[in-house]
Amino acid sequence: MKDLTQGSVTRLLVAMAVPIAIGMLFQTLYFLVDLYFVARLGEAAIAGVSTAGTISFVILALTQMLGVGTVALVSHAVGRKDQAEANLVFNQSVLLSAICGGLTLAAGFLVGGAYVRSVAADPAAAAAGVAYLYWYTPGLALQFALVAMGSALRGTGIVQPTMVVQMLTVILNTVLAPVLIAGWGTHHPLGAAGAGLASSISVAFGVAFLWIYFLRLEHYVGLRPDQWRPRLPLIRRILNVGLPAGGEFFMLFVILGVIYWVIRGFGPAAQAGFGVGGRVMQALFLPVMAIAFAVPAVAGQNFGAHRYARVRETFRRAALLSSVLMLAITVHRGLHPPAGRGSRRLNLPARHLLELPRHRAHFHLLGAVPGARQHLAVAAELGGTAADLRAARGVAVDPAALHPDAGVVPVGGVGDAAGADQPRAAAAGVAAQARDAAGRDRRRTR
């Protein structure tokens, strides 16, 4: 456990954000490795895998509900020095991860294929997407366990083990991808199905690694089967805190599903190009996403310790760091548009597909400009948080001090939305934390 209630807030945010950013960079490489080998199967395979990949936003929405709620309540307990409560929250999140994982397996195999076929551009893309999804569904189900364990560690201020796991899973996926997708050494290529299988095996390895870490090395929170009996009030609190973040990512799934359905008439090359561009744009937001993931732990521990001035300082510093980083990305994209170079490195098959990133170069810049303002929403949404804090603890808070004069504008592109919405999700999650605390205090007063 690391105490985040002492020391410089900026230094704590950066110290947590750096390992998180490294882990997320490897997670991006995870997708690019798959894309590199899938690209050799043709544009139909890329389109199918990209289309099937939109389902991951549903899983992302659910894992955000679980992860944000777990980080919030564990960090509150750590701030109060209540180890027993932190352990109970963690073990209830493990129970939730098992339930959600089972439901994901059932839904993926029962209705996943029908969804992919409904939005795929042609039968070949649909076949590739369905094959990929069926083999990747176990990996999607295991994501819940990874999130539960990683979020509990983050709530205690520990991020290095999760970073190591992400690095190791990427290395394993890099080894498995050419073997399973292209048939290196086995002479039995599985195509798009191999990409899904490689990902599932890598995620399973990550879950096993973290599970062993909790059994042998983690001492503040641990796996306790006697605490796996459902505690419905606590489960409701976890989901209530995480609901705003999960809702945003579910809407992203709806938006992406509609876009893939609309552009299917342009053929698999259009869907493939959109998928490739989305991956690139997500990578641009990695530094800001890392800061966003660091915020709930720092703010949560200080909130639990009743150090509200440090909570407000956490969001001011995070908003400043996010805005500076997004401004730098905006300037860089304006001076150095991608011009399709990344697509050529991936050896995408069709010449017109190679031109898509060139035509979308302006959208990288346009997506980053509102993104820079979007991250000021971290502070803008604190108008509600400030009022909740005042109601919860009777603390004099000036919402204007936390509400910079910046409009909250939609992100200027769908491909980068997953990254750009992370700070808003973090702010919304902490707002829900404050409302949760206010509700508990009102019940005690009665």
Q: What's the farthest any 2 CA atoms get from each other in the chain? A: 70
Neighbouring CB atoms inside 10 A of 84's CB total 9
What distance in Å separates the CA atoms of residue 247 and residue 421, rounded to the nearest whole number?
A: 11
The rounded distance, in Å, linking the Cα atoms of 167 and 30 is 9
CA distance 233 to 390: 24
DSSP structure string for 244-270: HHHHHHHHHHHHHHHHHHHHGGG-HHH
Q: How many residues does the chain have?
A: 446
The structure tokens listed for 164 are 């190591």
Sign of CA dihedral 75, 76, 81, 86: negative
State residue 285's pLDDT score.
75
pLDDT at residue 436, rounded to an integer: 55
Residue 439: predicted pLDDT: 57
φ and ψ at residue 435, rounded to 5 degrees: -65, -40
Least Cα distance to 128 among 178, 59, 189 occurs for 189
Token duo for residue 270: 């259009």
User: Angle, nearest 10°, between helix axes 43-53 and 9-38?
Assistant: 140
- pLDDT computed for residue 279 by the predictor: 66
**What are 419's two structure tokens?**
């990254």
Contact 21/319 with Cβ under 8 angstroms?
no
Spatial distance between the Cα atoms of 383 and 388, rounded to a whole number of angstroms: 9
- Find tokens 């805190």 and name the residue: 241
- Supply the pLDDT for residue 414: 33
Q: Which two tokens stand for residue 418?
A: 């997953």
| Whether the predicted model's global pTM rises above the 0.75 cut | no
123-155 and 268-284 helices cross at what angle (nearest 10)? 20
pLDDT along the chain (446 residues), means of 10: 88 88 75 77 84 82 88 92 95 96 94 90 90 93 94 92 88 91 89 91 94 90 94 93 80 80 79 70 75 86 90 89 82 65 48 45 45 38 35 34 30 35 46 53 50
Helices (H) and strands (E) in the chain, counts: 17, 0
- Comparing C-alpha atoms, which of 166, 197, 165, 167 is closest to residue 179? 197
